[in-house]
Amino acid sequence: MKKQFIKVVLSCAVIAGSVSSCKNSSSSKNTSRATGWKINAKEGGFQHNTDYKEQETAPGLVFVEGGTFTKGKVQDDVMHDWNNTPTAQHVMSFYMDETEVTNSMYLEYLDYLKSVYPPEDPRYANIYTGALPDTLVWRNRLGFNETMTNNYLRHPAYAEYPVVGVNWIQAVQFAEWRTDRVNEIMLEREGYLSEEAKYKVVNGDIEGTFSTEAYLNRPESVYNGQIDSLQGKMKKDSVSNFASRSTGIILPEYRLPTETEWEYAAAAQVGSREYNNQRGRKKYPWEGDYTRNGQRLGRGDQLANFKQGKGDYGGIAGWSDDGADITAQVKSYKPNDLGLYEMAGNVAEWVADVYRPIVDDEVSDFNYYRGNIYMKTAIGEDGKVNVIRDSIVYDTLPNGKVVAVNLPGELKMVAVDENETYLRTNFSSSDNRGYRDGEPGSSRFYDRFSDDEDGDEKKKMYNSPKHKVQRDSLGAITRNYDKSNYRTTLINDEVRVYKGGSWRDRAYWLDPAQRRYLPQYMATDYIGFRCAMSRVGSKSKTKNKTVRSKKVK
């Protein structure tokens, strides 16, 4: 027994002189468990971030721990839409904005675009104007709302009110801009960028801006190639002048929440332990089956901003039922059990999904989302990723509004091709919006399809109108409306879901399960949005895991 023990000790201590003990080879975070080599050694070798704790909660967001819930209707389907049949779904943990995006937040975005891409510069003529909300949504043929048209977006009295008049495309572009600004300041905080970098961009001292994906893929291209003069203290203190994903500093992108995420967060079943609620029977974001507060403090007060009846948008003057007639200032009502405000009422909210009447849980009951278009970075002749400079691509929407598809400094993206799809079982094309519900193969007329648009095109499952709107070189709009008699629906791949009730809606729409749709280029005075962010790493936060481990003991 003594000889065997000596052999084990020697085998652990004399492996290439790099492993000092069995204990170190398995437990030290700076020693590889795969090879026994040192990690992050001064001499060189494998460099890896071993000090990463967990994802930081980004500005404005609240952590939402994922879980299982029943997605779909709770109340009677009085509209007879039959589009929210209950399905069991599981959601990964994510983050969501505490409130809707406000006028103040959106004006910050507009001011940035106006400073960095001056509208008077012909190259940038449509960037700022394409991001402007449609303030004319407040107009009503038989209503006096002109004050709202002129004041709601910019007057300080409405600064903390949710922004409206923003279409789905504009909401997505705001989230992209927000991602870059937050990661820019994160890199500044960690010393990879100087504090003056962002201000030089806004003040026009340098031409060019920061893009997260451009920084990660081709950092020398950021700030129009002037990043060397804008680096922080890490340029002197670090082997690498640039941060990578492995540093853990770069946050995932801000984006619109998926419909499943939004509904899960609105229901907030985490605060309930009743059997029925755990099975998805929660009617509103708060406990109970009524819209009024049943607690002793504030008893009788309405818990959301919604239309209570014909001609009743707020209540009786002097003791208002919900404290608002149009939208209300964010945080005017109590948050739900996740700490999210106004997940019912105030404004309805855009979500990421393409609308279909049926949720196909046979294909996926995990992070369900319809709308995937898989893209990849375009590679130039020099073997490097393409960065957009002055070749800005604009798109004319069906309502004539011109928006920028890409901003200068961003990476050029192209659809994935057969190199990524060949022999794959999980996806076979770039565009999956119509998978099993909208593409030719899902139609009962599939075997009769041909290139004859006037003939077989009318037999498609979602045979919606196809209007063509273009602008000529002088900016004049040419509109060609689809006048076909064979169109059968308004549903197509450019129609998006919006969730939640608004100040214009009855209590029926406050149910988180209710869903409606609108073309992605349209805006209203009752639809706003909030952003979300995926969580990377553990499902729960560290403090939650600590509490659970103590309970087990």
Taking only the tens place, the pLDDT of each residue in 70-112 is 999 878 888 888 999 999 999 999 999 999 999 999 999 999 9
Q: Return the DSSP state at 255.
A: B
Range of weakest confidence among 145-149, 414-418, 464-468: 464-468
CATH topology of domain 59-363+494-532: paralog of FGE (formylglycine-generating enzyme) (3.90.1580)
pLDDT over 60 at 545, yes or no: no
pLDDT over 80 at 255, yes or no: yes
Domain ranges of the chain: 59-363+494-532
| Mean pLDDT, residues 455-461 taken together | 66
pLDDT over 60 at 13, yes or no: no
| Mean pLDDT, residues 524-536 taken together | 98
Question: How does residue 19 score in pLDDT terms, banded at 50, 70 and 90?
Answer: very low
pLDDT over 60 at 466, yes or no: yes
pLDDT over 50 at 205, yes or no: yes
pLDDT (tens digit per residue) in 514-529: 999 999 999 999 999 9
> In terms of pLDDT, which residue wins out, 470 or 238?
470
Beta-carbon contacts of residue 6 (< 8 Å; ≥ 6 apart)? none
Question: How does residue 470 score in pLDDT terms, banded at 50, 70 and 90?
Answer: confident
Which one-letter amino acid corresponds to residue 360? D
Q: For the chain, give the percent of residues with pLDDT over 90.
A: 58
How far apart (Å, rounded) are the C-alpha atoms in residues 343 and 267?
A: 9
| Residue 497, CA distances (Å) to 145, 345, 489 in order | 27, 16, 16
pLDDT (tens digit per residue) in 256-313: 999 999 999 999 988 665 544 445 467 888 877 888 877 777 777 888 899 999 999 9
Q: C-alpha dihedral over 383, 389, 390, 395, to 10 degrees?
A: 90
For position 176, what pLDDT does the model report?
A: 97
pLDDT (tens digit per residue) in 478-520: 888 888 888 889 999 999 999 999 999 999 999 999 999 999 9
For position 436, what pLDDT does the model report?
A: 93
Residue whose C-alpha is closest to residue 54's, from 531, 540, 532, 546? 540
How far apart (Å, rounded) are the C-alpha atoms in residues 19 and 39?
A: 12
Q: What is the largest CA-CA distance in the chain?
A: 98
For position 449, what pLDDT does the model report?
A: 56
CB 267 within 8 A of CB 58: no
For position 298, what pLDDT does the model report?
A: 73
Provide DSSP, 315-359: EETTEESSS-SS---TT-S---TTS---SSSSSEEEEEEEP-SS-
CB 347 within 8 A of CB 502: yes
pLDDT over 70 at 450, yes or no: no
pLDDT (tens digit per residue) in 187-196: 999 999 998 8
For position 439, what pLDDT does the model report?
A: 87
Beta-carbon contacts of residue 374 (< 8 Å; ≥ 6 apart)? 415, 416, 420, 427, 430, 432
Mean pLDDT, the chain, rounded, equals 86
Question: How does residue 547 score in pLDDT terms, banded at 50, 70 and 90?
Answer: very low
Q: How many CB atoms lie within 10 A of CB 435?
A: 18
What pTM, to 2 d.p., does this model score? 0.90
**Backbone dihedral region for residue 38 (phi beyond 0: left; psi -120 to 50: alpha; all else: beta):** beta
For position 6, what pLDDT does the model report?
A: 43
Residue in this structure with the two tokens 């006028």, named with its chain if needed: 103
| Mean pLDDT, residues 232-241 taken together | 69
How far apart (Å, rounded) are the C-alpha atoms in residues 8 and 4?
A: 6
